[in-house]
């Protein structure tokens, strides 16, 4: 399993919030934040077409988290 971390945004108290992308060997990806363990997106890779398909996607990318 591969885990990557990136900056997601900041709280109004100016604390950084991170997004973690977890990917397994079968091509499934999940993105969660360390701010309340919010599931941001879930993807799977279709190997025959080599494309990424969104299974579930939270429809926001905040710069400041409330």
Question: 19 near 63, Cβ under 8 Å?
Answer: no
What pLDDT does 64 receive? 46
pTM of the model: 0.67
Band of pLDDT at residue 41, cut at 50, 70 and 90? confident
Three-state DSSP class for 5? strand
Angle, CA of 59, 45 and 42, to the nearest 5° = 30
State the pLDDT at residue 49. 67
Q: What is the pLDDT of residues 48-63, one digit of tens each?
A: 666 666 666 665 554 4
Give pLDDT, residue 65.
46
Nearest to 28 by CA among 15, 39, 17: 39
């Amino acid at each position: 399993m591969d885990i990557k971390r990136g900056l997601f945004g900041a709280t109004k108290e100016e604390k950084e919030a991170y997004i973690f992308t977890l990917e397994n060997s079968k091509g499934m990806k999940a993105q969660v934040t360390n701010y309340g363990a919010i599931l941001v997106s879930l993807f799977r890779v279709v190997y025959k077409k080599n494309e990424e398909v969104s299974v579930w996607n939270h429809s926001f990318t905040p710069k400041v988290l409330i």
